[in-house]
Structure 1
């Protein structure tokens, strides 16, 4: 029996090492679904929605380092993939999307579910997008999609019309207008800048007396080298949110996250430094970097398009972070005056004391900061943490101390809601032997997280370590936007848009076949985390927390605080409690004798 195009497609995915494909069926991919039914691998993982399939593929790619793969039918299925694929595009993650299309004979006939997929994916899959219209195209299309996704760190897309999927496969021949393809491989190259560029960068760093390093996800494979540079130059190290897991927060000179969700220590590091080294980060908020002209700067990035994008860098080194830093280190002069390092370490230590005090401030019923503080005390050293977008992201960024082999990520640049739970599912398929924790606001949970609990229930038996904890920050408020309305717009909370319907998330989890734990008091938190982290299967923690503990940034400006106060005075519901909770939390930074 002849092999179909769909069967050969799955065969090529196997040759690329693909073990699972996240997706949702539809008649535009019936041929591919039938091929899955006849194949042992790759496995088809059914999400509840195509957007969730794309997010799961992104999560898998982020935590495995291998391309994530998702599949969807034509028309609405293809449209649903877009948010997850844009997440991959903006966070530079390799994802391959396979999409069905109406039969070739019906194209252009205003047929059911016919959408111009070339136009639809032109931007999100701008690095590589193609449509397979004859069997001989298939291997080259698949191989280019994977090689491009890996080398460009981007999403790519392959469109396969429904009738083409069911054709007999014929390999491309050694003939005119047919294109062969080499066997699947892992593209590998090491890029190191020229010696004169390295010397120029060393001159800048050696001249600095107060060096700061900012690292992003591009420094993940160069943690040891970053540590060596920091020790040699006496630098402090701040982390962009996507690089939160690159270095341990137990290192005394690591100041934590940077930016609106960042730490006071990172703010002071950037405010006071005279030299800046950026490694593998395109952190977008330049207002949190040193004042222009204050610091001489060097940037290292594999993508030359990112050079000098956020700060007027003096030397740009285009290369792999690890090899580039290894070539740079011998050119650096060890700093003997450690006063700057001592100042950085004191600031970082004071910050961790501050947030612990803030986490222990009384709230009604639970201070949301304490949720992550208690987790941080207990989380296994090999855990993977996913965070959704919302006010809970602040507490993930500031209070979770990375250590050991811990990994963590979130939708960084797109900052979309709804990625936390499907990211966690992708992480479990990437590392089925490691515990995973998802930190999710109740807005994101209502948006799509609840449905994906069914996906967790369905596939938990495939994971050697079945621990997957979904922690819901239950405050019945779209809290981050509420705070933004108050602090950035000077507007009171608009109940109609901000208040969420109340749901018992733990009861819903139990209804879906998972363990659900309700937490309604701060003294229950520690035991709840202990129970969840030692359970024999997935657990949902439903923690009712105070919506009036504002995520005031540690470097909040007078204008922001003024706008918040004005919003409260205009009639914001719970105005007095918001003001009191904010002052109580902020006051912890100024406890006498605590830096």
Structure 2
């Protein structure tokens, strides 16, 4: 019996080393779904609750494995649902391959059921590579190019497979005109290096600096050792873009933590006071948080030349692999004998950690959300993976979670979409089934789609050697980040109709789905709850009722700005007085005398 196009597609996925495909069935991909069954579920079909979750899980898998994530959806609505997750991959530079069904070729253009112009739909999100498979002979080249492009450009790609094509007999392309062959699947890697004279120019800039700052992003993840060498030679402090939070351990005394609106005061001061800046593997999206323009001489290293000089007027731009470029740079650096700048940075870092610990212990009703992450940070295993959703909980992940050991962490960085935290965690478990995973999720994101995806966790937990997956819900019945944005940026009080959420017992729902559910209503119970969750023999949902009025005050905020926000609150915010009290108590912790 001849092999179908769908069967050959799955065989080619196996040749690419694909172990699972995240997806949801539909008649536009019936041929492919049938092929999964005939192939003994190799690669494994991971059924999500929604196609958007399939895309997010593919992104999470790719982020934490370094290999392309693969997602599958039917035509029409299924394809449409993939878009948010694929845009997340595009904006965070993650390799994902989407396989999408389409109506039969004979029906195209006939306004057939679920017929959508998929070429138009995907042409932006999959601009790196998008192709439609219309004859069997296209298959190896189209699929291979989708994988090679996703890897080379760190981007999502998509292939469209009409339903009738899936069931055709497969024929390999021949050595004939207008047919295109393809080499065997591989993962070629090339190390890009800048010219020696450019490296020398960068070294001259860094050697001339007296107060050097380094900003690392996710592009520096494989170059942690080299970054530390540069930091030691120059006496620099190192700040981390949010997607690069796991590049360096926060146990290093000169690592100032996250930068930006969700960042630390130590990172803010590092950028405010430096005279030289080295950016490695980051296209940090905000221009107001690096040094003032003209204040610092700057060098940038990135494998993608299109992002160089995009946020700051850099003097020397090096297109190259971060690790290889830094290895070429290190021998040219003259160790700085003056360590006063380094001492100043380390004092600022120590003071910051003391400050946020005090802030986490400020009384709240019932639980201070900062304390949730503080208590986790004291207990989290060295090999844990942490995913964070978008919302006010992201502030606490960014500022309070201390990375150490081989910990990994990520979130929807540039798109900042809600709803990625739980599916990212599932993707992480398939990438590393032997490691514990923690998802930090607001109740808004949990209600949006996290609750449904608990079913996916329940279904597949037996496939993970280490079944620990902790979903921690910041339960405050408020779309809290938007509430604070309304207050601080819009000058408007909280609008209850848009901001308040229905009250749900998330732990009870988890128990109903067969998971362990733990309710926390008092700050003194947090430590024990984390201990139980992190040592459990299966997935756990931690439902922590926390105070929505604890303010995510930016590290550079002044009392004057706090006063202006309070004036906006007094226009009619239902909780104005409590917001004011919590804001003053939290901000005051920065002024308690410490080592800094």
Alpha-carbon distance in structure 1 between the residues aligned to 2:405 and 2:66? 18
SS in 2 for 1:316: strand
Q: Which runs of 4+ in 1 moved over 6 A?
A: none
Cross-structure match for 1:519: 520
Cα 1:130–1:559, aligned 2, differ >3 Å: closer, same or farther?
Answer: farther
SS in 1 for 2:595: coil
- Report if the CA contact (8 A) 1:244-1:257 is conserved: yes
Q: Deviations over 1:227-268 (max 9, x none)?
A: 000000000000000000000000000000000000000000
- Report if the CA contact (8 A) 1:488-1:560 is conserved: no
- Report if the CA contact (8 A) 1:489-1:563 is conserved: no
> How far has the Cα of 1:561 moved from its partner?
2.1
> How far has the Cα of 1:568 moved from its partner?
1.5
Alpha-carbon distance in structure 1 between the residues aligned to 2:565 and 2:149? 47
> How far has the Cα of 1:560 moved from its partner?
3.8
> How far has the Cα of 1:286 moved from its partner?
1.0
Cross-structure match for 2:107: 106
- Report if the CA contact (8 A) 1:212-1:275 is conserved: yes
Q: What is the aligned length?
A: 595
> How far has the Cα of 1:437 moved from its partner?
0.1
Cross-structure match for 2:450: 449
Q: Which moved more, 1:349-358 or 1:568-577?
A: 568-577
Q: Deviations over 1:60-79 (max 9, x none)?
A: 00000000000000000000
SS in 1 for 2:381: coil
Alpha-carbon distance in structure 1 between the residues aligned to 2:285 and 2:439? 25
> How far has the Cα of 1:566 moved from its partner?
1.5
Runs of 5+ consecutive residues of structure 1 not aligned to the other structure: none
- Report if the CA contact (8 A) 1:241-1:258 is conserved: yes
Cross-structure match for 2:478: 477
Q: Which moved more, 1:396-405 or 1:553-562?
A: 553-562
- Report if the CA contact (8 A) 1:71-1:97 is conserved: yes
- Report if the CA contact (8 A) 2:351-2:594 is conserved: no
Alpha-carbon distance in structure 1 between the residues aligned to 2:12 and 2:249? 39
Alpha-carbon distance in structure 1 between the residues aligned to 2:594 and 2:332? 41
> How far has the Cα of 1:558 moved from its partner?
5.8
> How far has the Cα of 1:594 moved from its partner?
4.8
- Report if the CA contact (8 A) 2:36-2:43 is conserved: yes
> How far has the Cα of 1:565 moved from its partner?
1.0
> How far has the Cα of 1:29 moved from its partner?
0.1
Alpha-carbon distance in structure 2 between the residues aligned to 1:593 and 1:398? 18
Cross-structure match for 1:576: 577
Cα 1:249–1:102, aligned 2, differ >3 Å: closer, same or farther?
Answer: same
Alpha-carbon distance in structure 2 between the residues aligned to 1:560 and 1:459? 48
- Report if the CA contact (8 A) 1:488-1:563 is conserved: no
Please give the residue correspondences for 1:491-530 in structure 2 after superposition, counting only pairs within 5 Å: 491-530=492-531
- Report if the CA contact (8 A) 2:56-2:424 is conserved: yes
The two structures have a TM-score, normalised by structure 1, of: 0.99
Cross-structure match for 2:31: 31
SS in 2 for 1:286: coil
- Report if the CA contact (8 A) 2:354-2:594 is conserved: no
> How far has the Cα of 1:593 moved from its partner?
4.2
- Report if the CA contact (8 A) 2:31-2:163 is conserved: yes
- Report if the CA contact (8 A) 1:382-1:404 is conserved: yes
> How far has the Cα of 1:41 moved from its partner?
1.1
SS in 2 for 1:287: coil
Alpha-carbon distance in structure 1 between the residues aligned to 2:25 and 2:238? 46
C-alpha root-mean-square deviation of aligned residues, in Å?
0.7
SS in 2 for 1:288: coil
SS in 2 for 1:440: strand
Q: Does 1:310 align with 2:311?
A: yes
